[in-house]
Amino acid sequence: MNILITGGLGYIGSHTVIECINNGHNAIIVDNLYNSKIEVLHKLNKFLNKDITFYKIDMQDIKELENVFKENKIDAVIHFAGYKAVGESVEKPLKYYENNIGITINLLKLMEKYGVKKIIFSSSATVYKESKILPLTENMPLGVTNPYGRSKLIIEEILQDIAFSDKDFKAVILRYFNPIGAHISGLFGEDNNGIPNNLMPYIVKVAKGELEYLRVFGNDYNTKDGTGVRDYIHVVDLAKAHIKAIKAFDFSKNINIYNIGTGTGYSVLDIVKNFEKATGIHIPYKIVERRSGDIGEYYADSKKAKKEIDFTAEYGILEMCKDAWNYEKNRG
């Protein structure tokens, strides 16, 4: 298949490009380098021994984006492009709605115009309403608390509406849990410059000596050790889930939604301990106040993805920690 990968030079996109090519597909990448670097393309080309078609395009410019559809026969789209910083979305909601929703509408208009009927969309576990009942299944109540999450939910709803209006349209919505780790080669990973917000990017900076200690946001949640529990998934497993999701285009339902997680929850202190075990590096931490907006615990019910698209995560928490560190220490 010729697959258009929007945001294909980003963290999850770059790993998915590798899986697409390794599974015999052709990847066409669109990215505006807002949160990625052109070096990723050079590394992909070298690693895969290919010359991947790349367009440096801001998808907010529909005319430029249309050239991609004119110049390529596209069979399906994997849509990663978007902004993802929750805190920033609270401060600059319009920036998030304009980009995340605006570029998706541009993409969907062009898909309609050029008869492209298949899309895999990057949604997030953040669309679920806080629930006392765990694990989270795909049919549990939805509810969002910030503009980033709302942009994901709105896009899910737009896809539902299009699917309702066009019986040939097929969308696979993947609700990612917490992707961490990096490519086994050590060549691809998450580039965090400045002070990161998320847990693993923060831990690797502490390991590197760039930050003094980890702030653990609260130890008074109703969880096994009081710290927040999440379902972390290796980014390579997550990338592979997109290849598995391709088979859902052949299902009779035209919208298929899957949780992509491991089904196991780890606390912040579990992650610290596993990171220390995987790398031999001590991670000093201090318990501080809860982070506003955080939920105590959530993890995926991953049975639907297993049953319908045969997806099961293979990598464990030690590999996630080891690979995250391997990438960070080598990237200078």
Residue 148 appears among annotated catalytic residues:
yes
Pick the catalytic residue from 55, 148, 202, 315: 148
**Residue 293: closest CA among 145, 84, 147, 88:** 145
Report if residue 123 touches ligand UD1, rule: CB under 6 A: no
Strands 214-217 and 178-180: unpaired
CB of 276 to ligand UD1, least distance (A): 15
| Closest residue to ligand NAD using C-beta atoms | 10
Return the axis-axis angle of helices 235-245 and 11-22, rounded to nearest 10°.
Answer: 50
Q: Fill in the DSSP letter of residue 270.
A: H
Q: How many residues bind ligand NAD (CB under 6 A)?
A: 26
- Total Cβ atoms within 10 A of residue 220: 11
> Per-residue contact track with ligand UD1, 242 to 271, x per CB under 6 A?
--------------------------x---
Residues numbered 86-115 forming contacts with ligand UD1, rule: CB under 6 A: 86
85-93: long-range contacts, CB 8 A cutoff, minimum separation 24: 85/148, 85/197, 86/126, 86/146, 86/148, 86/149, 86/197, 86/293, 87/197, 89/146, 89/147, 89/148, 89/151, 90/146, 90/147, 93/147
**Which range of residues in 31-39, 89-97, 128-136, 292-300 is near ligand NAD by CB under 6 A?**
31-39
Instruction: Classify residue 66 by burial, with Cβ atoms within 10 Å: 0-12, 13-18, 19+.
Output: middle
**Which range of residues in 80-88, 250-258, 266-274, 301-309 is near ligand NAD by CB under 6 A?**
80-88
Angle at 136 between CA 133 and CA 141, to 5 degrees: 80
Report if residue 230 touches ligand UD1, rule: CB under 6 A: yes
Nearer to ligand UD1, 75 or 319 (CB): 319
> Per-residue contact track with ligand NAD, 145 to 184, x per CB under 6 A?
-------------------------------x--x-----
Report if residue 82 touches ligand NAD, rule: CB under 6 A: yes
Interface residues with ligand NAD (CB under 6 A) are 7, 9-13, 30-36, 58-60, 80-82, 84, 99, 103, 122, 124, 176, 179
Give the active site residues. 148
